[in-house]
Chains A and B, each alone.
Chain A
Amino acid sequence: GENVEQHPSTLSVQEGDSAVIKCTYSDSASNYFPWYKQELGKGPQLIIDIRSNVGEKKDQRIAVTLNKTAKHFSLHITETQPEDSAVYFCAASTSYSSGYALNFGKGTSLLVTP
């Protein structure tokens, strides 16, 4: 099955700096790669996603890049703010002929200090 590795497990940055989280996946058939942000006591919130036919996608301060050949994708957050502090999860999904399943990385705990 699909195996998603995520690094680093913890990341501390100063407000205004950039943060980068990297993930690798094993199943070359995976074609959808979402990123989720989870705050304490809440469910994961979809913040950005990318599909296998696209190399990069940006939404304001957040960007995701995908390298299908190397089977890795990354989340970039620029101009970080304290409210960006949360746990971030990457995931990879394979479209089965009968359904979908998201395979998640173990998460990165991001702390943005003022």
Chain B
Amino acid sequence: KAGVTQTPRYLIKTRGQQVTLSCSPISGHRSVSWYQQTPGQGLQFLFEYFSETQRNKGNFPGRFSGRQFSNSRSEMNVSTLELGDSALYLCASSTAGNEQFFGPGTRLTVL
């Protein structure tokens, strides 16, 4: 079974721009969660989607948003990028809940 895939793997943007990251979950998995990983804050939960509905949201500003499509693929968007948004963004998929399998991540650098 193919694992979780994330595209792109690396991204460089400038402050004020917006960015969209994509995640394809493991086949059959309907839950997709997003996490931000930074050296200072570690791994922090952004949001979780299940069957195209956001079920849970972490403590991030409204500039961070996401969506899930009918095939369970998910995208997250960050608008008005700030330097502090530089991080590894990880997507994890699950059949229905807490046993989550992570993708390789998208490394976002904001200049």
Contacts and interface: CB of A to CB of B under 8 A. Distances in A.
Contacts of A1: 59
Interface residues of B, number: 26
A43 B103 contact: yes
Interface stretch (B11-19, B42-50, B60-68, B72-80): B42-50
Given A46-B99, A106-B42, A100 B94 contact: yes
Nearest to B54: A99
A97 B57 CA distance: 13
Interface string B85-102: 000001010100111111
Interface of A: 1, 32, 34, 36, 41-46, 49, 89, 91, 93, 95-96, 98-107
Interface of B: 4, 31, 33, 35, 42-45, 48, 50, 55-56, 58-59, 90, 92, 94, 97-105
